[in-house]
Structure 1
Amino acid sequence: MTEAAQTVRRAGAEEFRAAMARFASGVVVVTTLDSDGEPRGFTASSFCSVSLRPPLILVCLANSADSFAAFSACGPFAVSVLGSEHDALATRFATRGVNKFASGGLSLTPGGLPAVADSLAELDCEVHARHQAGDHMILVGRVCGARIGEDAGAPMVHYERSFRSLA
Structure 2
Amino acid sequence: MTEPRTDEAVFRDVLGHFASGITVVAALDGEEPVGFACQSFASLSLDPPLVMLSVGRSSTSWPRIERVGRFCVNILAADQQEICAALGARGGRKFASVPWHTSPHGTVVIDGALATVDCRLANVHEAGDHHIVTGEVTGLAARENAGPLLYYRSRYATATFAS
Q: TM-score, normalised by structure 1?
A: 0.88
Number of aligned residues: 159
Match of 1:164 in 2: 157
Alignment of 1:109-120 (within 5 A): 109-120=103-114
**Which among 5, 20, 24 is matched to residue 29 of structure 1?**
24
How many angstroms does 1:30 deviate by? 0.4
Work out whether residues 105 and 139 of structure 2, in 8 Å CA contact, stay in contact via their aligned partners in 1. no
Q: In the alignment, does 2:85 pair up with 1:130?
A: no
Secondary structure of the 1:16 match is helix
1:43 alignment partner, one of 23, 37, 44: 37
Give how far 1:11 is off. 1.2
Q: Percent identity?
A: 33
The amino acid across from 1:114 in the alignment is V
Instruction: Specify the SS of the correspondent of 2:80.
Output: helix
Question: Which range moved further: 75-84 or 63-72?
Answer: 63-72
Which TM-score applies when normalising by structure 2? 0.90
Task: Structure 2: give runs of 5+ residues left out of the alignment.
Answer: none
What is the rounded CA distance, in whole Å, between the counterparts of 2:140 and 2:66 in structure 1? 23
Aligned counterparts, 1:1-167, within 5 A: 9-34=4-29, 36-149=30-143, 151-167=144-160
How far apart are the structure 2 equivalents of 1:53 and 1:108? 27
SS in structure 2 of the partner of residue 124 of structure 1: strand
State the Cα RMSD in Å.
1.6
SS of the residue corresponding to residue 11 of structure 1 reads coil
Residue pair 1:32, 1:41 contacting (<8 A) in 2 also: yes
Mapped contact 2:28–2:106 kept (Cα < 8 A): no
- How far does residue 9 in structure 1 lie from its aligned partner after superposition? 4.3
Q: Look at both structures and tell me which one has the larger radius of gyration over its CA atoms.
A: 1
